[in-house]
């Protein structure tokens, strides 16, 4: 085909080495060729943004993980309030990343952080201490809130940042070329964080971008050009869950705080030994104002030994409750159950779980 301006001849060659003479094909099959061009253009304009431009694969390998899900999303509310991409409360003011949370047990076992696309490592930091920021204090990480982290530059003006990695786990160096799926490090608890998670941040020409929204700026609930690939978006790892269970189990004393519960301090698993107190505790993410918490400890004979029913007074990123009973007369050996329901008006039980334990 001749470019009239530059006088160049262009031929198209398939994988078998045959040249296609475009002018001859146009003359012989004008309708077919016109339809082919129209279909090609339609594909260009109607493919999702991830197929046309920058496409992101999963940033973590959560195979076999106890828990692996987004906890907080990009904040789309310009006011001091906050809203995630579906206008829900899973965010906080000015947050510009996506927090993918895992359990403490999974963190100890190791959950790999993966490059979401091909690119070049621009910066790395390792060696930062780990621990809940409420215990360490923000002053301990001044200027290093991302903790151990990796930044990767991609094509088209995009870059991604992977924050709060495990100390000593960063597996790449500045200037290194990486492919999508390349292991960058492990999910950790470094920087300004209160639980093990990966915060993945996306920037386009230095502007923060929500990968669930893409390069549109219509705010939550508006048009979207998702940057996640189709496979990643439909993975359970990235599925939007308004609320969910973080932990549930029996303890030999009331957990003093959410950290103690999640770290399983005083955890009794399977068989209780001979406890003086039996406590059933739960922690969930995303409880909303008006939700009703119902917890029970049920004895071997079906008798309710302890029960608690409270109403959530505000939206929270996470919250815990527990109920228990001291040992006394009538404490029978056998199988005890802990039952929990989080009930939401118009939705019924949004979280529920039953745990059991054998008491001698």
Q: What pLDDT sits at residue 272?
A: 67
Q: Which two tokens stand for residue 273?
A: 């030994």
- Please give the Cα distance from 336 to 301 (Å, whole number): 9
Helix (H, G, I), strand (E, B), or coil: what is residue 34? helix
Q: Beta partners for 149?
A: 125
Q: What pLDDT sits at residue 343?
A: 98
Counting as low any pLDDT under 70, the low residues of the chain are 1-52, 272, 329-330
Q: Which two tokens stand for residue 272?
A: 């209780």
Give CA angle at 170 (166, 171), nearest 5°.
140
- Please give the Cα distance from 125 to 318 (Å, whole number): 29
CA distances in angstroms from 172 to 22, 121, 153, listed in the order given: 47, 8, 13
- Please give the Cα distance from 202 to 62 (Å, whole number): 20
Which residues make Cβ contacts (< 8 Å) with residue 20, sequence separation at least 6? Answer: 11, 12, 13, 14
- Select the CATH number that applies to the domain covering 244-359 from these four: 3.40.30.10, 2.60.40.2550, 3.20.20.70, 3.40.190.80: 2.60.40.2550
CATH classification code of 60-233: 2.70.70.10
Phi and psi, residue 105, nearest 5°: -65, -40
Which residues make Cβ contacts (< 8 Å) with residue 153, sequence separation at least 6? Answer: 119, 120, 121, 122, 159
Q: What percent of the chain has pLDDT over 90?
A: 76
Same fold, 60-233 and 244-359: no
Q: What pLDDT sits at residue 11?
A: 26
Instruction: For 257-316, write each residue's pLDDT tens digit.
Output: 999 999 999 998 777 677 788 999 999 999 999 999 999 999 999 999 999 999 999 999
Which residues make Cβ contacts (< 8 Å) with residue 76, sequence separation at least 6? Answer: 83, 84, 85, 87, 91, 210, 213, 219, 220
Q: What pLDDT sits at residue 336?
A: 93
- Please give the Cα distance from 20 to 239 (Å, whole number): 45
Q: What pLDDT sits at residue 43?
A: 37
- Please give the Cα distance from 8 to 33 (Å, whole number): 21
Q: Which two tokens stand for residue 199?
A: 């915060």
- Please give the Cα distance from 259 to 131 (Å, whole number): 10
What does DSSP say about strands 68-72 and 119-125: parallel, antiparallel, or unpaired?
unpaired
- Domain ranges, ordered by start, for the chain: 2-46, 60-233, 244-359
Which residues make Cβ contacts (< 8 Å) with residue 141, sequence separation at least 6? Answer: 128, 133, 147, 191, 192
Instruction: For 76-96, write each residue's pLDDT tens digit.
Output: 999 999 999 999 999 999 999
- Please give the Cα distance from 45 to 27 (Å, whole number): 27
Q: What pLDDT sits at residue 218?
A: 76
Q: Which of 11, 8, 53 is nearest to 214 (CA)?
A: 53
Q: What pLDDT sits at residue 144?
A: 94
Give CA angle at 12 (9, 18), nearest 5°.
115
Q: What pLDDT sits at residue 354?
A: 96
Q: What pLDDT sits at residue 69?
A: 95
Q: What pLDDT sits at residue 330?
A: 65
Helices and strands (DSSP H and E) totals, the chain: 7, 23
H or E element at residue 105: helix 104-109
Give CA angle at 100 (291, 116), nearest 5°.
145
Centroid of chain to Cα 1? 49
| 139 DSSP assignment | G
Alpha helices in 196-295 (DSSP H): 230-233, 258-262
């Amino acid at each position: 085909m001749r470019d009239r301006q530059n006088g160049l001849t262009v031929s198209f060659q398939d994988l078998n080495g045959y040249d296609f003479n475009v002018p001859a094909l146009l003359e012989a099959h004008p309708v077919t060729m016109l339809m082919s061009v129209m279909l090609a253009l339609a594909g260009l304009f109607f493919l999702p943004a991830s197929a046309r431009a920058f496409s992101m694969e999963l940033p973590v390998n959560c195979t076999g993980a106890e828990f692996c899900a987004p906890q907080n999303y990009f904040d789309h509310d310009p006011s001091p309030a906050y809203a995630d991409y579906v206008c829900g409360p899973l965010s906080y003011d000015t947050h510009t990343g996506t927090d993918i949370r895992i359990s403490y047990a999974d963190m100890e076992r190791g959950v790999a952080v993966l490059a979401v696309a091909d690119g070049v490592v621009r910066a790395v930091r390792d060696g930062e201490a780990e621990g809940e920021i409420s215990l360490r204090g923000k002053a301990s990480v001044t200027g290093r809130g991302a903790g151990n982290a990796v930044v990767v530059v991609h094509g088209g003006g995009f870059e991604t940042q992977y924050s709060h990695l495990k100390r000593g786990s960063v597996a790449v160096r500045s200037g290194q070329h990486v492919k999508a799926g390349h292991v960058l490090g492990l999910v950790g608890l470094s920087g300004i964080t209160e639980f093990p998670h990966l915060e993945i941040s996306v920037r386009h020409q230095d502007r923060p971008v929500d990968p669930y929204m893409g390069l549109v700026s219509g705010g939550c609930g508006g048009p979207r050009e998702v940057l996640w690939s189709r496979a990643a978006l439909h993975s359970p790892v990235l599925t939007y869950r308004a609320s969910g269970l973080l932990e549930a189990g029996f303890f030999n004393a009331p957990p003093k705080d959410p950290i103690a519960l999640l770290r399983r301090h005083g955890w009794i698993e399977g068989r209780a030994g001979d406890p003086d107190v039996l406590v059933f505790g739960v922690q969930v993410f995303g409880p909303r104002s008006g939700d009703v918490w119902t917890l029970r400890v049920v004895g071997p004979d079906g008798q309710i030994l302890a029960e608690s029913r409270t109403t959530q007074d505000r939206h929270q990123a996470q919250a815990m409750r527990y109920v228990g009973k001291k040992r006394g007369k009538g404490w029978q050996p056998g199988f005890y159950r802990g039952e929990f329901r989080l009930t939401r008006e118009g939705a019924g039980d949004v979280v529920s779980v039953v745990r059991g334990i054998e008491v001698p």
